[in-house]
């Protein structure tokens, strides 16, 4: 059963994490799989120097430890790491997430609110003749993020991102392309749910005494 919209809005709005806590969220969610703590910290700092997930005016004193990560910042960072693990070039990730930031921030909210209701309501796909090891049916739900991005010879082309339903996601995954290899869809509702849950349970990070 979906949680009351007002409750989810409140949880998103009041979420505030430090830089250290944000790194821990990325690790616990599995979005930084394969990265050591040092590598993750370096990558996040590299993203930040390129305006992700904060605009320059949000940096304040530009001290990693003093910056406050809100819900949208955490999801944007999680999304960047997911796209990186999917094989997208660093420059393309920064370009997409910063160019469409305002629209994507709305998507981060919508993807959480409609994770199992409305456009993201569960669908059941029936397998009429299951082969050995196959399930007779599969249940899908949540909203998926599609950039409609293609890369050829190191050059990326993309249209504005959009949120699509579970059924549209299946159609997109099953489509056939001749010589074109679009970037994979992103299960945005799942990422948003996981990020919020882990973030809310992340304790403060103890900082050592400075010399």
A 10 A CB-CB count for 115 gives 21
Average pLDDT, the chain: 85
Structurally, how many domains does the chain consist of? 1
Residues 106 and 127: their CA atoms lie apart, in Å, by 35
Helix ranges (DSSP H) in 54-181? 71-85, 90-99, 101-113, 166-174
Residue 166 within a domain:
yes
Q: Which of the four pLDDT bands, split at 50, 70 and 90, describes residue 205?
A: confident
Give a yes or no: residue 207 inside a domain.
Answer: no
Q: How far is C-alpha 142 from the chain's CA centre?
A: 13
**Which pLDDT tens digit goes with each residue over 15-43?**
999 999 999 999 999 998 889 999 999 99
Among the listed residues 71, 94, 70, 98, the one whose alpha carbon sits nearest the alpha carbon of residue 83: 94
- Predicted model pTM: 0.85
User: Is 208 within the bounds of a domain?
Assistant: no
Does any domain span residue 20?
yes
Q: Is the preceding peptide bond at 179 cis, omega within 30 degrees of 0?
A: no
* 206 occurs within a structural domain: no
Q: Give the pair of three-digit tokens for residue 129.
A: 């003749």
Tracing tokens 């009351």 back to the chain, one arrives at 4
Residues 85-100 have a mean pLDDT of 90
Residue 209 is assigned to a structural domain of this protein: no
Largest CA distance in the chain: 68
Residue 205 forms part of a structural domain: no
Residue 188 lies in a domain: yes
Q: Reduce the DSSP state of residue 139 to 3 states and report it.
A: strand
SS (H, E, C) 141-170: CCCEEECCCEEECCEEECCCCEEECHHHHH
Three-state SS at 16: coil
pLDDT band at 210 (very low <50, low <70, confident <90, very high): very low
**Contact, 109 vs 12, CB < 8 A?**
yes
Mean pLDDT for 150-178 is: 77
Whose CA is closest to 171, among 146, 135, 134, 191? 146
Q: How far is CA 73 from CA 2, 115, 116, in A?
A: 24, 19, 23
Tokens representing residue 171 in the block: 């159609």
pLDDT band at 1 (very low <50, low <70, confident <90, very high): very low
| pLDDT value at 155 more than 70 | no
Mean pLDDT, residues 99-123: 94
Range of the domain at 65: 5-200
């Amino acid at each position: 059963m979906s949680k009351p919209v007002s409750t989810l809005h409140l949880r998103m709005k009041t979420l505030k994490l430090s830089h250290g806590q944000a790194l821990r969220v990325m690790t616990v969610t599995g979005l930084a799989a394969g990265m050591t703590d040092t590598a993750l910290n370096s990558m996040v700092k590299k993203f930040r120097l390129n305006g992700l997930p904060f605009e320059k005016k949000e940096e304040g004193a530009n001290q990693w430890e003093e910056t406050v990560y809100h819900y949208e910042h955490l999801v944007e960072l999680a999304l960047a790491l997911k796209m990186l693990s999917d094989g997208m070039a660093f420059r393309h990730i920064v370009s997409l997430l910063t160019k469409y930031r305002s629209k994507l921030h709305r998507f981060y909210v919508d993807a959480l609110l409609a994770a199992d209701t409305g456009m993201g309501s569960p669908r059941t796909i029936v397998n009429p003749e299951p082969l050995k090891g196959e399930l007779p049916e599969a249940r899908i739900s949540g909203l998926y993020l599609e950039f409609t991005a293609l890369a050829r010879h190191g050059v990326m082309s993309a249209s504005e991102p959009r949120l699509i339903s579970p059924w549209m996601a299946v159609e997109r995954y099953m489509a056939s392309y001749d010589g074109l290899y679009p970037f994979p869809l992103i299960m945005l509702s799942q990422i948003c749910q996981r990020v919020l849950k882990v973030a809310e349970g992340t304790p403060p990070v103890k900082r050592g005494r400075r010399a």
